[in-house]
Amino acid sequence: MVLALLLSQSKYLFLPGIITALPILTLINMGMQMKNMKEDTFHAVLQNTVFGAVGMLLFTVLAFLLTSWFKPGISVMSALAVYALFMLSGKYILSMFA
């Protein structure tokens, strides 16, 4: 929460938007999980949720770090490309830990 507060005071306009979207997406996800979920399904969703959270953290950190070197639009698009590759390779990455 402290990190979110510090980032929300950033001069880059897209960071407060990302920080605002994260809790909203989390609440939507929790609501969907509570509806008729069996135990084995819950464990699979939990594993995917942790992977997705790591991906979102990767996206946020990359977007923030890349703005030091590039314009915000290029930084966000580059971070989005890395995030997409990370998420698309998710099945392979998760199978390494199973």
**What pLDDT score was predicted for residue 45?**
76
The radius of gyration of the chain from alpha carbons, rounded to an integer in Å, stands at: 15
**What pLDDT score was predicted for residue 8?**
56
**What pLDDT score was predicted for residue 7?**
57
Question: Which of 47-51, 58-62, 85-89, 94-98 has the lowest average pLDDT?
Answer: 94-98
- The helix/strand/coil state of 46 is helix
**What pLDDT score was predicted for residue 57?**
86
* pLDDT confidence bin for 98, thresholds 50/70/90: low
Which residues touch 74 (CB under 8 Å, ≥6 apart)? Answer: 66
Residue 85 has pLDDT above 80, yes or no: yes
pTM: predicted TM-score of the whole model, two decimal places: 0.56
Q: For residue 79, how many C-alpha atoms fall within 13 Å in the half-sphere facing its CB?
A: 24
53 C-beta neighbours (distance < 10 Å), count: 14
Q: What does the pLDDT look like over 10-57, one tens digit per residue?
A: 565 566 666 677 777 777 877 777 776 777 777 777 777 788 888 888
